[in-house]
């Protein structure tokens, strides 16, 4: 038996409610998460064809490549993952760039500090 429908004020609460019911007759769009009508061919919210899932999520382990190898790892993971999960690919590339910039800034600060101390004959 199905519980009575409630008035939902937010999208999150509505999705949580339906996912906790585990009904066989309620389906959701794989792209936007919108509720699909019973015999619909296209999603009424985003227009994606029902059953069409050309993109699939890749493992989050791909984030290790830019973390370990900086911009090189970011570029490698971007080109490998971009066809299947463009969001993950872009995030890996951005992460690699940010980690490279952080490393360069830390290196420049360290070199400037070292040169200043050497110039002042303070030593190490």
- 8-state DSSP, 123: -
pTM (two decimals): 0.52
pLDDT digits (tens, 9 = 90+) for 19-72: 544 444 557 776 777 777 777 777 778 887 776 554 466 788 889 999 999 999
pLDDT of residue 54: 44
Q: Do residues 4 and 32 both lie within one domain? A: yes
Q: Do residues 88 and 114 both lie within one domain? A: yes
To 10 degrees, what angle do helices 86-119 and 64-81 make?
A: 140
**What domain count does the chain have?**
2
Q: Is 71 helix (H, G, I), strand (E, B) or coil?
A: helix
**Cα distance from N-terminal residue to C-terminal residue, the chain:** 76
How many angstroms separate the Cα of 41 from the Cα of each of 44, 54, 58? 9, 16, 26
With respect to residue 124, please indicate whether it lies within any of the assigned structural domains. no
pLDDT digits (tens, 9 = 90+) for 83-109: 888 888 999 999 999 999 999 999 999
Q: Do residues 65 and 14 both lie within one domain? A: no
The domain of 107 spans 60-119
Half-sphere exposure of 28 (CA within 13 A, CB side): 14
């Amino acid at each position: 038996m199905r519980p009575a429908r409630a008035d939902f004020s937010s999208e999150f609460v509505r999705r949580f409610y339906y996912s906790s019911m585990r009904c066989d007759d309620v389906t959701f769009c794989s792209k936007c998460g919108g509720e699909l009508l019973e015999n619909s061919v296209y999603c009424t919210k985003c227009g994606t064809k029902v059953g069409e899932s050309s993109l699939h999520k890749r493992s989050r382990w791909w984030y290790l490549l830019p973390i370990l190898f900086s911009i090189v790892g970011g570029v490698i993971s971007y080109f490998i993952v971009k066809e299947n999960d463009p969001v993950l690919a872009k995030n890996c590339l951005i992460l690699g760039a940010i980690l490279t910039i952080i490393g360069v800034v830390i290196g420049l600060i360290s070199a400037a500090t070292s040169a200043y101390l050497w110039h002042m004959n303070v030593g190490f």
